[in-house]
């Protein structure tokens, strides 16, 4: 492959995961739930992660967006989103990516939505936390 076509292919890559290992600590030992996953997702592609319960699908997703307990979880490998390694971003920068460009829909609606709050308020809450929109901009978007 020529250098030019290789560069074009790299520009087309939206998400590249290289040798991702996510382990959970039990006592002083880490046990991998995600063990050496590598994936490339290009712009305009759809990726489905399929597997049986407990195989690491949710762990893979939470590793990508950094939604895990940093004291009990070890994430190794590269998670390149638009060429930026998400695994090395600080909380503030990662939070900006999470709200503006990457999101996760959790599989358990009872843990994702609060039945005591209006849906509108719950959606707006994410925009307050992840964007710099004004109240009027948030309400229009919701």
In contact, 19 and 78? CB cutoff 8 Å: yes
CATH number at residue 18: 3.40.50.300
Whether residue 82 sits in one domain with residue 15? yes
pLDDT average, residue stretch 91-114: 79
Q: Are residues 7 and 47 in the same domain?
A: yes
Is residue 24 within 8 A of residue 67, CB to CB? The reply is: no
Do 28 and 89 lie in a common domain?
A: yes
Residue 73: pLDDT band (50, 70, 90) is very high
75 lies in the same domain as 114 = no
The verdict on 51 and 119 lying in the same domain is no
pLDDT at 8: 45
**How does residue 119 score in pLDDT terms, banded at 50, 70 and 90?**
confident
Number of domains within the chain: 2
The answer on 113 and 56 residing in a single domain is no
Residues 14 and 28 in one domain: yes
Contacts with 82 (C-beta within 8 Å, 6 or more apart), sequence order: 14
- Which residue is associated with the tokens 């979880």? 73
26 is in which domain, residue-wise? 3-104
In a shared domain, residues 96 and 33: yes
- Same domain? For 42 and 91 the reply is yes
If phi > 0 it is left, if psi is from -120 to 50 it is alpha, else beta; for residue 134 that is beta
Answer yes or no: do 79 and 139 share one domain. Answer: no
Dist. CA 99–CA 62, nearest whole Å:
14
3-class DSSP assignment, residue 119: helix
- In a shared domain, residues 25 and 77: yes
Q: What is the tens place of the pLDDT at every residue in 5-14?
A: 444 456 689 9
The better pLDDT of the pair 106, 109 is held by 106
Dihedral over alpha carbons 45, 46, 51, 56 (to 10 degrees): 80
In sequence order, what are the residues at sequence separation of 6 or more whose Cβ sits closer than 8 angstroms to the Cβ of residue 50?
A: 57
pLDDT for the residue numbered 60:
95
Residues 50 and 115 in one domain: no
Q: Tell me if the pTM is above 0.75.
A: no
């Amino acid at each position: 492959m020529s250098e030019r076509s290789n560069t074009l292919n790299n520009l087309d890559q939206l998400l590249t995961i290289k040798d991702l290992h996510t382990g959970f600590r039990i006592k002083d030992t880490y046990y991998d739930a995600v063990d050496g996953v590598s994936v490339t997702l290009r712009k305009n592609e759809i990726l489905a992660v399929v597997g049986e319960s407990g195989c690491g699908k949710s762990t893979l997703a939470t590793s990508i967006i950094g939604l895990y307990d940093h004291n009990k979880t070890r994430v190794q490998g590269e998670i390149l989103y638009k060429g930026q390694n998400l695994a090395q971003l600080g909380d503030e920068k990662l939070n900006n990516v999470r709200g503006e460009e990457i999101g996760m829909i959790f599989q358990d609606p009872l843990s994702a939505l609060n039945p005591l709050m209006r849906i509108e308020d719950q959606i707006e809450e994410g925009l307050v936390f992840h964007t710099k929109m004004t109240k009027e901009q948030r309400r229009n978007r919701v």
